[in-house]
Structure 1
Amino acid sequence: MDDRTVTGRAAAILDAVAAGDPMTLAELTRAVGIPKPTVRRIAADLMSRRLLARCADGRYRLGVHLLELGVRAAE
């Protein structure tokens, strides 16, 4: 896949978070191989759309809107 596009980078971030436990920004940056400022910016946008959320300890996890979309897709 092409992770140079915004969509590709957003998908890579969501895939990385979905692969395991919640991740810090540093862990997420290492996992996707995208510059930290870019990961921070895309993560903030994903959070504003409820596709990504932050735990109390600041780690990133999948957001509730992904579940809502999954339910719609299954219908």
Structure 2
Amino acid sequence: MTFPITKTDAEWKALLAENGAEPVAFQVTRQAATERPFSGKYETHWADGSYHCMCCGAKLFDSDTKFAAQCGW
């Protein structure tokens, strides 16, 4: 059984700030916004390993599946 994560906007913003998130992270993760193409700090980040959600820690993908789509997202 899983339980929803319930936090106020202020709690989400504080959590994201603690995790070193960019200012736009709250809008992207909690309000379905999109960052500008080619603007994020991970645009040129190619480190090996697993990438995880900043909000819940869920694994999103492994670095060996990342590819350069040339579209900015």
Query: What TM-score comes out, normalization by structure 2 length?
Result: 0.28
**Structure whose residues are more often helix by fraction:** 1
What's the TM-score, normalizing by structure 1?
0.28
